[in-house]
Amino acid sequence: MSAPFSQSCAESLDGALHRIFGFRSFRPNQEEIVRALLAGRDVFAVMPTGGGKSLCYQLPAVLMPGAALVVSPLISLMKDQVDGARANGIRAAFLNSSLAAAEQSAVLRSLQSGQLDLLYVAPERFALDHFRELLLRSRISMAVIDEAHCISEWGHDFRPDYLALSTIPELLPNIPVAAFTATATERVQHDIARKLRLRDPFVLRASFDRPNLTYEVRFKEAGEGQLVSILKGFAGQSGIVYRTSRKSVNDTAAMLQKRGFRALPYHAGLDDHERRDNQEAFIRDEVEIIVATVAFGMGIDKSNVRFVIHADLPKSIESYYQETGRAGRDGEAARCILLFAQADIPKVRFFIDAMQDEAERQRSLDSLSKVIAFASATACRRRMLLDYFAETYPRDNCASCDVCLGLHELTDCTREAQMLLSAIVRTDSRFGAAHLIDILVGSKNQKIKDFGHDRLKVYGIGKEHDKKFWRRLIDDLIARKAVGRSEGLYPMLYLLEGGARILRGEERVELVRITEKKSAATRKSAGLEALPPDAKRLFEELRKVRKRLADEQGVPPYVVFSDKTLVELSDIQPTTPEEMLAISGIGEVKLARYAEPFLEAIAQHKAR
């Protein structure tokens, strides 16, 4: 290992933080990691998405001699990270297959001549002998492994290409190696440290809590109306809708477009050009909604995603946490909504059952059961998420999930459950959910008449409730193992022992109902929502300035300034560059580059 880096006494670490990034103070855990790297020590850090991990290596990369090597699995994300670093005056570049040969050569020359602070590379690059030889001829300050869970077979996104990274300490023995991941259980953590051969690393497991995110689970309704209604509540805001299959992604995106939403699909089945264009349109605020498969990792580092909607079940708690973590990276309030129905479970089971490897199949079933438990429970969502990562939430009420906010209300549905169970018994357990519901609501369709079910005692006794209610009750009874469902194309419902106890009046059935109370989003008076009307109008004007400047420079708008910075500008309304420098997220380089157009827009707003 190299001798510890000695920072010049001419500038404090806080001074460098403000000069480069425009921040007055570090976020929790950042300073400890920065100091460990500056001291030449290996680091292993588990930090939640949005926790500011890039600053943990970008700041020491600027302060240390040589270039920091950052290994990232997402080629599509590298350009955004480099654009963001360059906007702060950091000498950054990326090296991957998207560059032409001449461009790659130029990057390598910059590395060898000491003109880079940061170089982002894909893990596959380490399999190339000539690249490894080039590293030996260059001055490298540190090696950073991003998304480090990819090296562990126990991680949720194992990638064989990552295994070559275990040779870094041998290849470059005198530099610190830092491994970062947003999700890692204790088992995955130890596996990562072993495979990367970290040497007495500084270990930090930051809290997995994202206090600016609210979590909500809603009963999933059939048809388009529910999703459309939810999205109307996010008008003008950026968000992601996750679906399980490519077909459902395409269908949902097309439906939203017809309904007037600016939405585009994103999945592995699109050709590279279309996928890249759709991602760029989302990142540059040209469309508001991206519809994506949960199985395909999106290289999106967009800081102002205000909502994430899972319209289908995620495959694991890790995936759910990662995907919801793409919301609110700027620290502002964001909402995460999961639409859940028991009918989705067999769709996921179909793919799991097709797995050839028994161990993999069992792991997937275990992951699915944990997701179902999370979605079905009426306990604090935040507490359940943190419990999964072996973290205890210190408060009884998080005040930012549907359960703790009282958006759920328990209703006694024992009588209705007995009606349904009686219908199953009276039809000899030979029919599925749709037919049983038709009996209960008194449908006059031909199938009911053909079987003589319009003469049953239970015919029409449940017409005070709509079909949506009965569908939800069936899902609830299946979840509590009161009712079973047969396999096959036309699954039939049948009673289990739990259902018999309900019929005999030995057990009650309480159904969770969404109340009309204020949503979690409206209860949080922070950020944009807390601004007075005049400041909100200025915020929209500044967004237009930001978009124009971003388009001129070919970068995403959030690279110019985050939403959080725009909110502060709109609230404080500075009139001089000195006042503007006090705004969070505005360092010296950004001040020199952007002060004039934003101060002019603020002055014009005040003059009206």
For the chain, domains (ranges, CATH) are: 13-205 (3.40.50.300), 213-400 (3.40.50.300), 411-514 (1.10.10.10), 525-607 (1.10.150.80)
% helix / strand / coil in the chain, to the nearest 5? 50, 15, 40
Query: Residue 116: which of 188, 64, 172 has the closest Cα?
Result: 64
What's the average model confidence in pLDDT over 190-209? 91
pLDDT at 525 over 80: no
pLDDT band at 222 (very low <50, low <70, confident <90, very high): confident
267 to each of 147, 177, 247, how far by Cα in Å?
Answer: 20, 33, 10
Residue 128, amino acid = L
pLDDT > 80? residue 121: yes
Confidence of residue 5 (pLDDT cuts 50, 70, 90): low
pLDDT value at residue 6: 52
* Mean confidence (pLDDT) of the chain: 88
State the pLDDT at residue 206: 87
pTM of the predicted protein model: 0.74
Q: Are 120 and 90 in contact, with CB atoms under 8 Å apart? A: no
515 or 145, which is more confident? 145
> Looking at residue 514, what is its pLDDT?
59
Backbone angles phi, psi at 217, to 5 degrees: -115, 130
Q: Angle at the Cα of 170 (from 169 to 176), degrees rounded to 5?
A: 20
CA 417 – CA 438 distance, rounded (Å):
15
Q: How far is CA 35 from CA 13, 71, 117, 141, 445, in A?
A: 9, 21, 17, 14, 73
Angle between the N-to-C axes of helices 358-376 and 317-324, in degrees from 0 to 180, rounded to the nearest 10: 60
Whether residue 3 is predicted with pLDDT greater than 70 in this model: the reply is: no
Chain segment 375-407, per-residue pLDDT in tens: 887 788 999 999 988 888 988 889 999 888 888
Mean pLDDT, to the nearest integer, of 497-521? 75
Q: Give, as one character, the DSSP assignment of residue 412.
A: E
Percentage of the chain lying above the pLDDT 90 cut: 54
Helix ranges (H only) for 554-587 are 557-560, 563-572, 577-581
Confidence class of residue 540 from pLDDT cuts 50, 70 and 90?
A: very high
Q: What single DSSP character describes residue 401?
A: B
360-376 average pLDDT score: 87
Q: Is the pLDDT of residue 8 over 70?
A: no
CA–CA dist 503, 494 (Å, integer): 13
Whether the pLDDT of residue 515 is over 60: the answer is no
Q: Are strands 334-340 and 213-219 parallel, antiparallel or unpaired?
A: parallel
Closest CA relative to residue 40, chosen from 14, 19, 68 = 68
Q: Phi, psi (5° rounding) for residue 259?
A: -85, 5
SS3 24: coil
H/E element, 598: helix 588-607
> Which pLDDT does position 391 carry in this prediction?
87
pLDDT for the residue numbered 520: 43
Are 133 and 126 in contact by the 8 Å Cβ rule? The answer is: no
Quick count: other Cβ atoms within 10 Å of Cβ 200? 8
Largest CA distance in the chain: 91
- Measured at the alpha carbon of residue 448, what is the angle toward residues 446 and 454, in degrees to the nearest 5? 120
pLDDT at 513: 66
Is residue 508 pLDDT above 50, yes or no? yes
Sign for the CA dihedral angle at 161, 164, 169, 173 comes to negative
Alpha-carbon distance 335 to 333, whole Å?
A: 7
Predicted pLDDT at 523: 41
In the 8-state DSSP scheme, what is residue 142?
A: E
Q: How much is the pLDDT for 336?
A: 96
**500, two tokens:** 């018999």
Dihedrals phi, psi of 175, to nearest 5 degrees: -125, 150
User: In this model, does residue 516 exceed pLDDT 70?
Assistant: no
Contact 493, 436 (CB under 8 A): yes
Condensed to tens digits (0 to 9), the pLDDT of residues 22-73 reads 998 998 899 999 999 999 999 999 987 777 889 999 999 999 999 999 998 8
What was the pLDDT predicted at 522? 41
